[in-house]
Structures are given as structure tokens and as C-alpha cells.
Amino acid sequence: MDSLEQMWSNARRLIQRGKSNEALFLLERLAAEGEVYVFREIGNLYRKGEDGITQDFDKALSWLRIGYFEYNCADCASILGFMYYLSLIHI
């Protein structure tokens, strides 16, 4: 089994190569392990909707809320505020 750091590195590499859809599988595995930073990453992927991932603000909101409310991820809170500011979500 891949180490968590190796999975994160592989996911980042896939995203940089425009293969976010493939990276999403690794990121979801990392999220299941409770790796806080991936909630931000997954939320951003759904917010942007690039590289084979359909833009979905509800999914972005869900991932970012988990990151913020369950793991106290400040980056997730910042992105939630940004989305609210742009009227992409309503709280």
C-alpha cells in the first residue's frame, strides 16, 4: 500500500498534468484517512470543475464544510468565505 505522502505526491502530480479526474480517486482515499489538506483540494476541484471533473458547487461545499467543521481547516473556511462572497453558495 502506498504511503499517505506518496499518494498525496502522486495526486498533486496528476493534477499538474491535467488529470484531476484520476487524482480525485487518490484524494478521496486520503480523505478517508483523515488527511485534512485534501478536503481543501477536493473542494477546489469541484469548485473549479476542470480536467474532467464537472463543476459542482454542492459537492465543493460538502467537502469544504467537512474540512472546516470536522477538521478545523482554515483553508477550507477561507474558500467557503470566498464562495459565499461571490454568491456561489448561500449559507
- 19, 35, 62 from 70: Cα distances, Å: 28, 11, 11
Question: For the chain, what is the mean pLDDT?
Answer: 92
pLDDT tens digits along 64-83? 999 999 999 999 999 999 99
Of the chain, the end-to-end C-alpha distance in Å amounts to: 39
| pTM for this model (two decimals) | 0.89
Phi then psi dihedrals of residue 46, to 5 deg: -70, -35
In whole angstroms, what is the distance from residue 67 CA to residue 18 CA? 24
Predicted local confidence at residue 30, as pLDDT? 95
pLDDT tens digits along 2-20? 698 999 999 999 999 999 9
Q: Give the three-state DSSP class for 36.
A: coil
pLDDT at 91 over 90: no
Predicted local confidence at residue 78, as pLDDT? 94
